[in-house]
Amino acid sequence: MTIQFLDLRISSQDNSDAAPVAIPLAAAPLVFGDIGLQTSGVLAANQGLVRVLLTGYAKVVVSPQFGLLTLQIIRNDEATPIFSTTFGAADNLDNEGWGFSAVDFPSAALVTTGQIRYRVQIFAAAAGSTIGARNFSGTAAAGNFTG
């Protein structure tokens, strides 16, 4: 099927560590990216061939006494994340930058709704960590070869 570029979206909540107040992380998830990738106009033959690439970055300040941080990507409002990873704390209080990427192969039923929403969230096992610069982006394409 013909390859189709569908959409590219970005969510840049904060592009600097120079924010006047650090945002604390807690057990309640902090959503720092929320995008809706448009899938309307996908050729019928490509509806089952959509692929999504999601990337992002988060800079946090964390130390051993604050335990673990978990980062998740949620599709639409589904209960199970399409991507989840947990980071252990550094050996000492430190700034840590985490880049991540994830892929998704949504079903044709999701594609035909015209938009798929992706959210990235981060949360901590215990209070005390903070987050600085952070962003999230996604690209959607369809098809598997040019014809």
Tokens (6 digits) for 142:
């369809």
pLDDT of amino acid 88? 73
Q: Kindly state the DSSP code that residue 41 receives in the 8-state scheme.
A: T
pLDDT of amino acid 61? 78
CB atoms within 10 A of CB 62: 24
What CA–CA distance (Å, rounded) separates 126 from 86?
A: 13
pLDDT of amino acid 25? 86
pTM: predicted TM-score of the whole model, two decimal places: 0.89
Q: Quick one: fold of 4-16+23-142?
A: Jelly Rolls (2.60.120)
Residue pLDDT tens, the chain, 147 long: 689 999 999 998 877 766 556 788 888 999 999 999 999 999 999 999 999 999 999 888 776 666 788 999 999 999 999 999 988 765 555 667 789 999 999 999 999 999 999 999 999 887 778 888 899 999 999 998 765
List the beta bridge partners of residue 86.
70
